[in-house]
Amino acid sequence: MPARGAPGDAQGAPAPALDVVIVSLGSTAGLRRADAELRDALERAGARAAIAPAQPPAPRRTLMLTDLAWALAARAAATRALAHTGRGARQPAIVYSSTTAALLWPRPGAIRFDATAAGNRPGRHGLWQRPLERHRLAQAPLLLPWSVGGLREAPAAARRGDRALVLPVPVELSAPPRELGQHIPATPPAGTSSTLGTDSQRDIAAITYAANPAKKGLDRVLAAWRGVRDELPVEGPRELVVAGATDTELRAARADLRALPGVRSVGPLSQTAYRALLRRARVFVCAPRREDYGIAQLEALADGCLLVTTPAPGPYVALGIARALDARLVSEDLARALRAALLHPVPDYAAHALQAIAPFRRAASDRIVAEELLARLLVAAAH
Domain 20-170+361-382: state its class: alpha beta
How is domain 177-358 classified at the architecture level of CATH?
3-Layer(aba) Sandwich (3.40)
How buried is 44 (Cβ within 10 angstroms: 0-12 exposed, 13-18 middle, 19+ buried)? middle
Domains 20-170+361-382 and 177-358 share a fold: yes
pLDDT at 10 (0 to 100): 45
pLDDT at 354 (0 to 100): 96
pLDDT digits 0-9 by tens, 361-370: 999 999 999 9
pLDDT digits 0-9 by tens, 8-35: 444 455 556 899 999 999 998 889 999 9
DSSP conformation letters of 252-271: HTT--GGGSTTEEEEES--H
pLDDT at 155 (0 to 100): 83
- Kindly state the percentage of the chain with pLDDT values over 90: 75
Residue environment code for 155-164, b if the CB has 16+ CB neighbours within 10 A, otherwise e: beebeeeebb
CA 242/CA 240 separation, integer angstroms: 7
Overall pTM surpassing 0.75 (yes/no)? yes
Domain extents for the chain? 20-170+361-382, 177-358
- Range 193-202, long-range pairs (CB < 8 A, 24+ positions): 193/235, 194/233, 194/235, 194/236, 196/236, 201/279, 201/280, 202/237, 202/279, 202/280, 202/281, 202/282, 202/304
